[in-house]
Structure 1
Amino acid sequence: MPDRDSRQVPSPRAQPGADPETDRMDETDRADESDAERRRRRARFLRDLAEARELRDRVQPRRVKTARLRHAMRMRTFRW
């Protein structure tokens, strides 16, 4: 069994393709990206986020109920 120091453990920030030098888009590339493309990516991100929330809500129903009750209490005590 190899000792702990001899194993190579990647750092949490080290990810494939995460080199800031090569992945950085320069200003001309950003200008070429259309608004429609940016909106499409944003819409996909928001759909994925909503899907993840729904999954979490199904997996942890007690937490969801507690959050719903807290929100209702905040809304009742909020003064317009």
Structure 2
Amino acid sequence: MGNVVRMDDRMSPEEVRDRLRRRAVFLRELAEARELRKRVSPRRWRQERIRATVRMRTFRAN
């Protein structure tokens, strides 16, 4: 795997900056959508959080 070329190596610095900026915007909007979902449907959000916790416990080694 030593000959793997990273995406950043082929991109100009401007392209890298633009990509990182777009990624930051996307992640910010995603977090905003999650917060909105929490406020709009708290019961569904609570159930989703419980299911995620149970899923994580399933894969955790003791």
TM-score normalised by length of structure 1: 0.53
Matching residue of 1:19: none
Count residues with an aligned counterpart: 51
Q: CA RMSD in A?
A: 2.1
Matching residue of 1:5: none
Higher RCO by CA contacts (8 Å cutoff, separation 6 or greater):
2
Indicate the structure (1 or 2) with the bigger Cα radius of gyration.
1
| Distance in 2 separating the partners of 1:44 and 1:37 | 11
Question: What runs of 5+ residues in structure 1 fail to find an aligned partner?
Answer: 1-29
* Structure 1 or 2: more helix by fraction: 2
TM-score normalised by length of structure 2: 0.65
Aligned residues: percent identity? Answer: 60
Matching residue of 1:54: 35
| Distance in 1 separating the partners of 2:60 and 2:29 | 34
| Distance in 1 separating the partners of 2:58 and 2:23 | 34
Q: Structure 1 residue 70 and structure 2 residue 59: aligned?
A: no
